[in-house]
């Protein structure tokens, strides 16, 4: 029974966007617990397309199959609530940006696994220390690191935006933006990076994020690798301190301040255009893949929709992503549907499937033709391009506020 359930589960996830798969796997990796088996909150088998559509980017999708070690962490065919690891929250410092002075710093001397944090450091010299989102002290380097490994696509995008692309020596196989990342050594995926490859790159900074397995992050620390862990924010405002912190650990504080200021200016422009907006269209976000995957109230996409002057019909769901029932979306009757897709082909396939689904013909977004595409990568990575997505969503929801017609 367990093997049969595992096969059904892996077949279901094979066609889900790599973004959604990553969110699910990330939650599992940090909770240390399998997903709860139970009633799936979403489409029944009869509501799914008989032949799941694939995009031309299928080759870049998450490698989730029965052969994947991390896929066996799942338990049961039902996906329910992704519960955070209490130890994660307990380990986080209430003052994550607090600094202190301690001897030494990264780049001066590596610490062996058998040494205490102070034993591997020189007796002379003082270095400022920040606390990462694991609640661990991280000595700031004296200068910009020369060899940086990024363990997440959004981290990679921020590093490039800070002008550090020529110093990035390792990225995940999902880091595909900007195009220059194509020439950088791959370390593996978000949840299955190769420790051997990372060590061979001899990095003087490894920037991890909450989706990387905690056991691997801790192992890197024990091996003496300078790892700094960043969290993913639940709203757009969290993007600014993230950029600031990455700027700080890379000693590019002025560049980070400039990048944050530019993004703030663009975000404020959207806020000003939508000031006192009265009508907030109902929005449904469809993640291209199999079934009606959408964002719940705990997703930063939900915050983005609200900031753009819309109302997410699935905002009441206390989770980041969830399967939605077809009957519920018909009842909600959204005014606008956004489909997160990685290509025009993906968008067309998702839109056609939605239009063919029984009962959708009477939904307001369908009758008015307000079904729009959003770049899945830009919208699903907590990085600078989220402001581009915000601007596009705001203009599509309220064209009259940006010089267009309704």
Beta bridge partners of 205: 148
Beta bridge partners of 149: 170, 206
Report whether 198 contacts 220 (CB < 8 A): yes
- C-alpha angle with apex 339: 65 to 403, nearest 5 degrees? 155
Using a pLDDT cut of 70, give the percent of the chain over it. Answer: 68
Handedness of CA 91, 94, 95, 97 (dihedral sign): positive
Model confidence over 288-324: pLDDT tens digits?
886 789 999 999 999 999 999 999 999 999 998 999 9
More confident residue, 63 or 199: 199
Question: The whole model's pTM is what?
Answer: 0.72
pLDDT grade, residue 127 (50/70/90)? low
The answer on pLDDT for 60 being more than 50 is no
Report whether 206 contacts 198 (CB < 8 A): yes
**Considering only CA atoms, which of 208, 165, 158 is closest in space to residue 187?**
208
The answer on pLDDT for 22 being more than 60 is no
The answer on pLDDT for 86 being more than 70 is no
185 phi and psi angles, rounded to 5 deg: -60, 135
The answer on pLDDT for 14 being more than 80 is no
Pairing of strands 311-312, 336-341: unpaired
pLDDT given for residue 406 in this prediction = 52
Cα distance between residue 33 and residue 85, in whole Å: 8
Which domains, and CATH codes, for the chain? 2-86 (no CATH), 93-266 (3.40.50.1980), 276-402 (3.40.50.1980)
């Amino acid at each position: 029974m367990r093997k049969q359930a595992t096969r059904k589960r892996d077949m279901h996830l094979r066609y889900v966007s790599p973004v959604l798969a990553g969110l699910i796997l990330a939650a599992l990796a940090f909770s240390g617990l399998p997903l709860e088996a139970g009633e799936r909150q979403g489409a029944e088998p009869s509501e799914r397309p008989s032949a799941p559509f694939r995009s031309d980017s299928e080759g870049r999708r998450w490698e989730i199959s029965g052969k994947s070690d991390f896929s066996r962490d799942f338990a049961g065919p039902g996906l329910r609530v992704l519960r955070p690891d209490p130890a994660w929250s307990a380990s986080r410092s209430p003052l994550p940006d607090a600094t202190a002075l301690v001897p030494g710093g990264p780049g001066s001397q590596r610490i062996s696994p058998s040494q205490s944090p102070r034993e591997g450091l020189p007796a002379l010299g003082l270095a400022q220390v920040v606390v990462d989102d694991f609640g661990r002290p991280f000595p700031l380097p004296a200068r910009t690191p020369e060899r940086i490994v990024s363990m997440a696509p959004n981290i990679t995008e921020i590093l490039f935006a800070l002008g550090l692309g020529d110093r990035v020596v390792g990225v995940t196989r999902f880091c595909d933006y900007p195009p220059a990342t194509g020439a950088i050594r791959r370390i593996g995926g978000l949840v299955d990076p190769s420790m051997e490859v990372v060590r061979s790159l001899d990095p003087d900074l490894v920037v991890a994020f909450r989706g990387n397995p905690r056991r691997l992050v801790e192992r890197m620390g024990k091996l003496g690798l300078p790892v700094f862990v960043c969290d993913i924010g639940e709203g757009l405002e969290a993007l600014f301190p993230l950029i600031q912190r990455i700027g700080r650990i890379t000693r590019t504080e002025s560049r980070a301040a400039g990048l944050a200021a530019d993004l703030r200016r663009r975000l404020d422009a959207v806020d000003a255009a939508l000031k006192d907006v009265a009508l907030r269209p109902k929005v449904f976000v469809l993640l291209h893949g199999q079934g009606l995957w959408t964002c719940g109230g705990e997703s930063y996409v939900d915050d983005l929709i609200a900031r753009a002057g819309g109302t997410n019909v699935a905002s009441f769901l206390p989770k980041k992503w969830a399967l939605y029932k077809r009957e519920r979306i018909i009842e909600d009757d959204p005014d606008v549907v956004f489909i997160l897709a990685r290509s025009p082909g993906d968008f067309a396939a998702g839109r056609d499937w939605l239009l063919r689904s029984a009962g959708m013909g009477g939904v307001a977004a369908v009758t008015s033709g307000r079904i729009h595409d959003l770049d899945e990568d830009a919208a699903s990575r907590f990085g600078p391009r989220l402001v581009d997505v915000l601007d596009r969503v705001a203009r599509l929801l309220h064209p009259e506020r940006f010089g267009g017609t309704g």
